[in-house]
Each structure stands twice: as C-alpha cells, then as structure tokens.
Structure 1
Amino acid sequence: MQPDRYQLLKDELFELRCAAEDIATASSEGASAGEIRDLCDELVHLAKRIEKLR
C-alpha cells in the first residue's frame, strides 16, 4: 500500500472509531432512539466509504 493511501485509511479508521465512540457516549447519556439511529446511520455511511478505498 502506498504511504498516502495508508495515511488516508488510517485517518478514515480514526473517524470510524470516533463515530462508534459517539454512539457509546450517546447511549450511556440516555440519548433518544432517534439520536442513536442518526449516529448509527453515520457509522454505516463511514464504513461504506472506507470499503471503497480498495
């Protein structure tokens, strides 16, 4: 893997982890089902975007 692609993947995975942490935080703080659903939608969107980096 080229260094620039590696860095892009690393950055994308960091963003994915942050999105997952946002869900965990929102859940522990009593966020509504709608808020959790929105955060999950964002997580899925990020994961699909990362899949396209191949």
Structure 2
Amino acid sequence: MTTGQKADLFVLDLSFIGWYCLGALCCRIGIIFVLPYPQATKAEVYLTLRDFVKI
C-alpha cells in the first residue's frame, strides 16, 4: 500500500518531532498527551491509502 508513499510518510513522521519535544519538556509525562496525535494521523493515512488501493 505504501509503494511510492514512503518518502511522504517519512516527512510526516519528521513533522511530529516538535510534538515529541514538547511532550518531553514536561518530564516525559506530556508524551502521554502527545502520542494520540501522530497515531490518529497515521490511522487517517492508512484509511486514505486503503481507499486509494481499492480503486
């Protein structure tokens, strides 16, 4: 499903570095509040790619 999309997914992962740093600022407890954002984004990417593959 990710054929031709790997670079885009890598850039997407890099875009969350700021969020991870922000969560780490709060003695790593803040990461609990930050982790749902990248996970939800990756879930949406999966749904989009899944629909694209069905075509």
Equivalent residue number for residue 31 of structure 2: 36
How high is the TM-score relative to the length of structure 2?
Answer: 0.50
RMSD: 2.5
Matched pairs, number: 41
Q: Which amino acid aligns with 2:26?
A: A
Using the alignment, how far apart are the partners of 1:16 and 1:50 within structure 2?
A: 12
Equivalent residue number for residue 49 of structure 1: 44
Which consecutive residues of structure 2, in runs of 5 or more, have no partner in the other structure? 50-55
How high is the TM-score relative to the length of structure 1?
Answer: 0.51
Equivalences for residues 1-54 of structure 1 within 5 A = 10=8, 13=9, 14-19=11-16, 21=17, 22-23=19-20, 25-26=21-22, 27=24, 30-32=25-27, 33=29, 35-54=30-49
Q: Looking at secondary structure, tell me which structure has more helix per residue.
A: 1
Which consecutive residues of structure 1, in runs of 5 or more, have no partner in the other structure? 1-5
